[in-house]
Structure 1
Amino acid sequence: MTEFTWKDEYSLGNAQIDAEHQRLLELANAVATLANSGEQMARIKENIVALYDYVKTHFQHEEEYMLQLGYPQYEEHKKLHEGIIAEMNTIMKHSGNLDMLVYKFKRLMHVWVLEHILTEDSRIAQAKKQKEVSDEPASEAG
């Protein structure tokens, strides 16, 4: 299973969200390490459950942040979070085969990192920058 490495391009410019994204990658890597070492299914699932719990907490924090920003695509973004949670639920409930569990988990993490953080979450950072520009006081000509 591929290891996930934090890159500066993933940064949203919010210390808490960025730290949580880094922690999520660490948790995903822990699952990858267990899968690559041939660890037992119960131990891998235990780590996936820990990741799942952390993802739910992170999404709650990210949604609160979007609301604070007045992020216009909040509802759409929240639905994406709900979809990721639902897919994680499905993976955990219906993957009795270790290879299939690892494959589905890897696919989900790839989508989450490459699509969700780089595309969807980066839009939050762009909205924050736009808000900062629009909130700047207009300089008076003198």
Structure 2
Amino acid sequence: MEVLPVWNEKYSIENTDIDLQHQTLFDLAEKTASLLNRHIYKIEVKELLGNFFDYMKTHFKDEEEYMYSINYPYLSEHKAMHKKIIKDMSALLSECNSTNDLKEKLNKIVSIWLVEHIAEHDMMINKYKKSLDKEELELTKEQEKDNKFEYICGCKDMIHKLDYGLHVKIKYLNIAYKCKKCSKELNFNSLEEK
């Protein structure tokens, strides 16, 4: 099992309530990880998962309200990611037949949620919030030019540079986009992934 990151200020979105919720989620993930390293009963995993699931729903609601309050431009994409996480967790609760299966799937969801969602997507909220400060606006516009995600298609030596919103739709929400030239579906250029 991979080691989960621990909370530190680099994950802050500079909103006290949301940061405290993120810290609690990191703690719940750590408890989950410690359970996965020993023999446990399915009921224990389901109880922890239920607590994690309930807290995530509350957190998502609060985070979405915060994004709405600052007019976050990727609110609908972010909400869709939240729905997908909830859907995956719901399926996990109802579909697992064995403790090992439940532990494996739980680890995957917790790892993806913490590493990708908080560390990558929630950080975009803070980046946007900072861009609202007029002194940082020009710097942010310059960073936005560099914040493109590379996708490939069937065309030889063609790289499609997509903005964050399209990247989220393709990679995380499974919405297909095709190249206008070759009509092949765009695929994330994983060689560029950091």
Short-chain TM bin: 0.7 to 0.9
SS in 2 for 1:70: coil
Point out the structure with the larger helix share: 1
Q: Distance in 2 between matches of 1:40 and 1:75?
A: 38
The 5 Å alignment of 1:82-101 reads 82-101=83-102
Q: Distance in 2 between matches of 1:45 and 1:70?
A: 36
Q: Is the 8 A contact 2:5 2:115 kept in 1?
A: no
Task: Specify every segment of 5 or more residues in structure 1 that has no aligned partner in the other structure, as ranges.
Answer: 135-142
Q: Is the 8 A contact 1:4 1:28 kept in 2?
A: no
Give 1:37 deviation, angstroms: 2.8
The 5 Å alignment of 1:1-142 reads 1=1, 2-133=3-134
- My pick for the range that moved more, 63-72 or 101-110, is 101-110
Give the number of aligned pairs: 136
Q: Deviations over 1:37-93 (max 9, x none)?
A: 312110111110000000000000000000000101101100000000000011111
- My pick for the range that moved more, 125-134 or 91-100, is 125-134
Q: Is the 8 A contact 2:18 2:59 kept in 1?
A: yes
Give 1:3 deviation, angstroms: 4.4
Q: Distance in 1 between matches of 2:69 and 2:10?
A: 23
Give 1:4 deviation, angstroms: 4.2
Q: Deviations over 1:22-44 (max 9, x none)?
A: 10111122222223231211011
Point out the structure with the larger strand share: 2
- My pick for the range that moved more, 77-86 or 24-33, is 24-33
| TM-score between both structures, scaled by the size of structure 1 | 0.88
Q: Distance in 1 between matches of 2:64 and 2:113?
A: 16
In percent, how many aligned pairs have the same letter? 35
| TM-score between both structures, scaled by the size of structure 2 | 0.65
SS in 1 for 2:132: helix
Task: Specify every segment of 5 or more residues in structure 2 that has no aligned partner in the other structure, as ranges.
Answer: 136-194
SS in 2 for 1:43: helix
Q: Is the 8 A contact 1:11 1:18 kept in 2?
A: yes
Q: Distance in 1 between matches of 2:4 and 2:75?
A: 30
Q: Is the 8 A contact 2:68 2:75 kept in 1?
A: yes
Higher RCO (C-alpha under 8 Å, 6+ residues apart): 1
Larger Rg: 2
